[in-house]
Chains A and B, each alone.
Chain A
């Protein structure tokens, strides 16, 4: 995973709440067996409409998504995170994220930032008035900055440390192998087992 320290870029205002993962990446895209190539599937249904915000030329190349509450509800598909990243987004700002989506995003280095709805509204107003306005998401300082906005955000310290250092969870856990083995030795025999292969 790439390190995330701080990112500055232009932003797309997505004035919608309850954006579910079926909207972020429709199911027929999930047939791919890779982690890349999902950019054209991002918000596929909405992008058919020329008026949709992602189709407006002034927002081309933006890398921060500012969206309404309950972003990422629904299916656990990590493809939603890959699609946002493949498209070029580095951070998503909302007042509320669905849990699984949030977990997935942080495991992939897509920074999901929770800010109060008033701040989201201010960011919307800012980038709608001036699409070239930049937003800085600073993970070191735990702060989002833009013209007239200086908003601190919370993030679990352990998650932040992993993101700042670009650490992969599996290698961290495998350092604790002896503890896993010790736990396994204590599991009762009535616990379920699947039928072995062959």
Chain B
């Protein structure tokens, strides 16, 4: 019987298979950041163990880093200690680190792909649940806990429990204005926050094949919000074109050998998935979340749902709690929900395409009075590219704040936070209670919806913007 993409990558990494034991898998790439690594390095030090493969390990600073005044000492002493700890650990153990100020610094899941380190058919781990992002390249990539970080540092392997496979097939064409973010939010609303549990998801079908690498990363990034172990997309010409010429991509004969191997990875025609979900792309529309988990989402054109309409009692209670926390009333059209803040960034939507999409919408327009819009590129490279294209000017001219790269308001570990009760349209991936700051309320949206929302001050899609003055000024900035 044929094998799926995930099974092929798994099989190619088995170091040891024995009856009654989990498979021991080799890890091709280990990404580190400051939050989940200090206790792991400490464990190594206590046991007197080295990092086995520093050449397969790389670290960045992202979660705690400020997005303003990055040349000054970090104000929060606890954040500073955590970053200093990472710097000391990397120096002691010989791990390459991209620190604040380094041109390769940025959110770990933006940095790996742009360096060309994330490649098809590899195993990628990081002490961070959004490691699923890297699955966009046909890598088997998953988030791990700190004990596992230590395990990979010491052995470059991980014992892993077997997984099940789920095909998420999206056929047809995405309607105008509907993005990868809307697609994945709709998938999560369909299968639920636990629907992917124990599964590696494979996104397939013509709508997926038509996505750019950036958009594929947005989709795979949020696999974890459906509870999945990982999400993957078969590598194809789009993948190869993205990788070719990148710093760490293979070259010469190695490139040819690599591409030949990568082409063997796609799921075989006769492979069988443990579960299948079908989605018609043409039925999708801009999607937003109304609740406090990423599965609590609905089309922007709909109303805040009535908890009483949920059959499952747990879901009903969850919806009641969510509406209370979010300060929303059932039956309110989502388009009438006003926001205080807009955040464009994160490893979900902080890449250059996302910034271009948001900039195209705010160009020649103004952020609504009383709304704060924060634009935080996913990495320094993304920021530099955006500056070269003049996007930073577009954002600042519209009244948005253009910031330095990092995780920023995606989780509010640095000073970029919502105040209690503030409502935010955010291109990030989690709308949990307090995620963006204590008492803050998050609506997950695409960059396009975020930008339109910033202009109108209420949840909106670009189609809601009258084509006033904006389109006539379209050519003022070269992109």
User: Taking beta carbons and an 8 Å cutoff, which residues of A are in contact with B?
Assistant: 15-18, 20, 22-23, 26-28, 30-35, 45, 68-70, 73-79, 81, 96, 98-100, 103-104, 107-108, 156-158, 169-170, 173-174, 176, 179-180, 183-184, 187-198
Distance between Cα atoms of A143 and B233 in the complex (Å): 41
Are the CB atoms of B258 and A98 closer together than 8 Å?
no
Are the CB atoms of B36 and A196 closer together than 8 Å?
no
When distances are taken between beta carbons in the complex, the residues of chain B under 8 Å from A81 are 145
When distances are taken between beta carbons in the complex, the residues of chain A under 8 Å from B29 are 192
Interface centre among A73, A108, A184, A193 (most CB of B within 10 A): A73
B151, CB-defined interface residue at 8 Å: yes
Are the CB atoms of B194 and A98 closer together than 8 Å?
yes
Are the CB atoms of B145 and A107 closer together than 8 Å?
yes
B446, CB-defined interface residue at 8 Å: no
Distance between Cα atoms of A174 and B49 in the complex (Å): 11
Distance between Cα atoms of A20 and B432 in the complex (Å): 7
Distance between Cα atoms of A98 and B229 in the complex (Å): 9
B427, CB-defined interface residue at 8 Å: no
Are the CB atoms of B128 and A190 closer together than 8 Å?
no
Q: What 0/1 readout, one digit per residue, does chain B (53-85) give for beta carbons within 8 Å of chain A?
A: 011111000011000000000001011011001
Are the CB atoms of B58 and A31 closer together than 8 Å?
no
Determine which of A17, A27, A70, A157 lies in contact with B412 in the assembled complex, contact meaning CB atoms within 8 Å. A27
Are the CB atoms of B81 and A31 closer together than 8 Å?
yes
B144, CB-defined interface residue at 8 Å: yes
Are the CB atoms of B122 and A191 closer together than 8 Å?
yes
CB distance from A116 to the nearest CB of B (A): 13
Measured CB to CB, the nearest residue on chain B to A158 is B21
User: Taking beta carbons and an 8 Å cutoff, which residues of B are in contact with A?
Assistant: 15-16, 20-22, 24, 26, 28-29, 35-36, 38-39, 42-43, 47, 49, 52, 54-58, 63-64, 76, 78-79, 81-82, 85, 90, 94-96, 116-119, 122, 127-129, 143-148, 150-151, 154-157, 159, 161, 193-194, 197-198, 224, 227, 229, 248-250, 254-255, 257-258, 261, 293, 314-315, 317-318, 321, 411-413, 430, 432-435, 438
Are the CB atoms of B151 and A33 closer together than 8 Å?
no
Known: A33-B38, A45-B434, A176-B16. A193 touches B24 (CB 8 A): no
Determine which of B26, B129, B154, B227 lies in contact with A183 in the assembled complex, contact meaning CB atoms within 8 Å. B26
A-B contact pairs, 21 of them (CB 8 A): A17-B317, A22-B430, A27-B435, A31-B35, A32-B78, A75-B430, A78-B145, A99-B229, A103-B144, A103-B148, A104-B146, A156-B161, A173-B155, A176-B24, A179-B24, A180-B156, A190-B258, A191-B119, A192-B118, A193-B55, A196-B54
Distance between Cα atoms of A74 and B410 in the complex (Å): 13
When distances are taken between beta carbons in the complex, the residues of chain A under 8 Å from B318 are 16-18
Are the CB atoms of A76 and B128 closer together than 8 Å?
yes
Distance between Cα atoms of A70 and B224 in the complex (Å): 13
Distance between Cα atoms of A158 and B95 in the complex (Å): 33
Are the CB atoms of A197 and B94 closer together than 8 Å?
yes
Distance between Cα atoms of A26 and B76 in the complex (Å): 17
Known: A76-B128, A169-B159. A33 touches B39 (CB 8 A): yes
When distances are taken between beta carbons in the complex, the residues of chain B under 8 Å from A197 are 54, 90, 94-96
Are the CB atoms of A22 and B434 closer together than 8 Å?
yes
When distances are taken between beta carbons in the complex, the residues of chain B under 8 Å from A189 are 254, 257
When distances are taken between beta carbons in the complex, the residues of chain A under 8 Å from B96 are 194-197
Q: Which 7 A-B pairs have the closest CB atoms?
A: A104-B145, A33-B38, A190-B258, A78-B145, A190-B250, A76-B143, A78-B146
Determine which of B49, B147, B155, B315 lies in contact with A108 in the assembled complex, contact meaning CB atoms within 8 Å. B147
Known: A170-B150, A192-B122, A193-B55. A70 touches B193 (CB 8 A): yes
Are the CB atoms of A104 and B257 closer together than 8 Å?
no
With A96-B194, A170-B154 already in contact, 11 other A-B pairs whose C-beta atoms are closer than 8 Å: A17-B317, A27-B413, A30-B35, A31-B413, A76-B128, A100-B145, A100-B224, A157-B20, A176-B24, A192-B250, A197-B90
Measured CB to CB, the nearest residue on chain A to B322 is A18
When distances are taken between beta carbons in the complex, the residues of chain A under 8 Å from B148 are 103-104, 107
Distance between Cα atoms of A16 and B322 in the complex (Å): 12
Known: A75-B129, A183-B15, A192-B122. A100 touches B143 (CB 8 A): yes
Distance between Cα atoms of A26 and B433 in the complex (Å): 10
Are the CB atoms of B38 and A192 closer together than 8 Å?
no
